[in-house]
Amino acid sequence: MLDLSRLNPEQLAAVKHTEGPLLVLAGAGSGKTGVITYRIAHLILNKKVPPDQILAVTFTNKAAKEMKERVEHLVGRKNCKGIVLSTFHSLGLRVLKRDIECLGYKKNFSIYSTADQVGLVRQIVREVNSSSKKYDAEQIIFRISGAKNKLIPPDRFTPNPTDEVEMMAALVYPRYQSALKAYNAIDFDDIIMLTAELLQHHPKVLQHWQDRFSYIMVDEYQDTNSSQYLLVSSLAAGCGNLCVVGDDDQSIYGWRGADVGNILDFEKDFKGCRTIKLEQNYRSTGNILDAANSVISNNKVRKAKKLWTATGTGPLIDLCIVQDDEEEATSVVERIQLERFKKDTPYSDFAILYRTNSQSRAFEEQLRFEDIPYVLVGGTQFFERKEVKDTISYLRVIANPMDEVALLRIINFPKRGIGDHTVIRINQWSLENEVPLFEALGRVGEIEGVTDVIRDKVLAFHDLLIDASERFHGEGSIAEKGKDLFERLGIESEIYRTIDDQKAARRKVENVEQVINSMAAYEERVPAATLSGFMEKVSLMDEDRFSGKDKKEHGKDAVTLMSLHSSKGLEFPFVFLVGMEDEILPHKRSIYEDDSIDEERRLCYVGITRARQQLVMTRTLFRKKYGKLQERVPSRFLDEIPPAVLNVIQSGVVKETSEEEAEKNAEGFFAKMRAMMG
């Protein structure tokens, strides 16, 4: 018999309720994975269910592997033989490999990679595109993927007439799908869509798989989309024993097709459903949970639940109000150093969470400045992002016209009609005549085969760089000069022109903006700031990367930087939730465009509940935009946190909100910190 004494009453009820539909609303840190694994073990050991009749589905291979290992630990590897613990796509492939011939494919089908998809879509776009307009193949694939996740076939795909990419996707989709079938190939989204089609339209196939599984469990149910919902509900219609585990309060992937309605409507969709709430939290302190509960309760459409803990209230949540984004980064890094000094805390205990990846720049710079190891999760290091490298290349050439690698990168960015053949001809002439490439641009009239039109474009580019160089060597702010240069180049317009996905374009524009902010921050640190000095600082960052310094940080003792979306499912003893301002969290898009901030509030909730022992929130009074300070508005989510759990720290002055803490008459936070560090 399996020992279930370690489970709390609600967990035990979820494990023992094996017959009929069951909804387990598992709050953050409530031990949901343990419930699923104990439930599987209970079925095998206590109820003597054959393992091959059990199906458990989750979203990632890592989660499926962890689940399998935990089940094996409980029941022994021998007793696990035949059980299916898989991702949705692994389950879909299992069905397709047996029955895809019913859909007119051969069993030895191929699965197209992203590169394969891009190549095929580009070929089809060339065939159907009668205009000279260029389309981003990846954005077309994204639109087709969205349709497939909603089980919308090509003949029912209705594009938004104001969205040019969707209009093109509507032309490409049927040809793309026909081509895949002709090549006996499917793409990643087809794995679920075709599986759902098989189960929906081929009764014998459906009957086989319904007979195969008597007990079905789904983890992270709040993240399922339409096709995954149909797949699960079709299989479960046979046995009726469907258990789904999830938390609507942590549904943060609506932008990629997840439908929170699947978990909200589960009790309506599956009659006779029992609902069990897991509200005891084993991760965070009482004050952290009070903040999380208070924030998320403002979402009106949700399953009511309230997290609690038996481990005590813990320290207050620090809300640090600083002057600007540079002081924000400095204060966070100083706090990390203080905690290290006080308790010898490993760097891996600290996580810095932010809403958008562009926010990482100031923290990356400050961590490097203090020689603190860090690892960036789910993103590219700031100075390695394409749009950043493009803009930095202009500054490199202006600081050093002999930097031919940077010069070649920008010669036709933004597009100015200087094609590859012209660049090759100029480069060849410079080599033959032993003339630097930059000088060759100014002498393009001497090069044979360059037309007058192209010559004028090359000379205009050369003159622009000379003029920019003269401006940068004059007096005045280098950040202001950089902003002026990027505006004259029209880099922002170029990004919006060449990237059809406006959300992706906006992120890239924000990163260009951060280059200017980085220059402005450098000027504040270095009184006699020069462009050459700034470029030396950037080059030193590259030197760290090429020397392999970053490699030792991965998987070892390093501070973690990540977006809130990437942080779901993780936890850290010490969490910094930064940028608590309107237009950041909640994001300005949700305020001005989407007319809903429910998912943004869930993101905030996820961020708060990543913290185990200490949570520090930060907000700025001003934040740089293109190097200029702009006044900021506090995040509306801060007003939703009980004042009693907050310890407000502003510009070195502690404003205690707790009467008990007020009596301590604590000295200024930063003054105390610096004193302790000598």
Contact 37, 71 (CB under 8 A): yes
Contact 221, 62 (CB under 8 A): no
Contact 536, 530 (CB under 8 A): no
Q: How many whole angstroms separate alpha carbon 41 and alpha carbon 15?
A: 9
Residue 295 amino acid letter: V
The residue assigned the tokens 């389950």 is: 91
For 466, residues 6+ apart whose C-beta sits below 8 A from its C-beta are none
Any known ligand binding at 33? yes
Torsion of CA 396, 397, 403, 406, to 10 degrees: 80
Contact 507, 358 (CB under 8 A): yes
Any known ligand binding at 671? no
Any known ligand binding at 31? yes
Q: Mapped to the 3 state alphabet, what secondary structure does 158-184 carry?
A: CCCCCCHHHHHHHHHHHHHHHHHHHCC
Contact 576, 353 (CB under 8 A): yes
Any known ligand binding at 92? no
Instruction: Quickly list DSSP for 486-499.
Output: HHHHTHHHHHHHH-
Any known ligand binding at 20? no
Q: How many whole angstroms separate alpha carbon 276 and alpha carbon 483?
A: 56
Any known ligand binding at 185? no
Q: Give the CB-side neighbour count of residue 321, counting CA atoms within 13 A.
A: 15
The residue assigned the tokens 């966070």 is: 332
Q: How far is CA 59 from CA 105, 224, 444, 446, in A?
A: 26, 9, 57, 62
Q: How many whole angstroms separate alpha carbon 201 and alpha carbon 656?
A: 64
**Residue 476 is encoded by which pair of tokens?**
């005045």
Which residues are catalytically annotated? Answer: 32-33, 219-220, 250, 610
Any known ligand binding at 590? no
Which DSSP symbol is given to 311?
S
Q: How many whole angstroms separate alpha carbon 542 and alpha carbon 358?
A: 18
Contact 359, 353 (CB under 8 A): no
β-bridge pairing 559-563 and 350-354: parallel
The residue assigned the tokens 């202009």 is: 394
Any known ligand binding at 26? yes
Q: How many whole angstroms separate alpha carbon 228 and alpha carbon 151?
A: 10
Which DSSP symbol is given to 651?
T
Give the largest CA-CA distance in the chain.
90
Which DSSP symbol is given to 632?
-
Collapse the DSSP code of 620 into the 3-class scheme (helix H, G, I; strand E, B; otherwise coil) and give the result. Answer: strand
**Residue 423 is encoded by which pair of tokens?**
């660049």
Cβ-based burial of 657 (10 A; exposed 0-12, middle 13-18, buried ≥19):
middle
Q: Give the CB-side neighbour count of residue 147, counting CA atoms within 13 A.
A: 22
* Residue list, annotated binding site for ATP: 26-33
Binding residues: 26-33
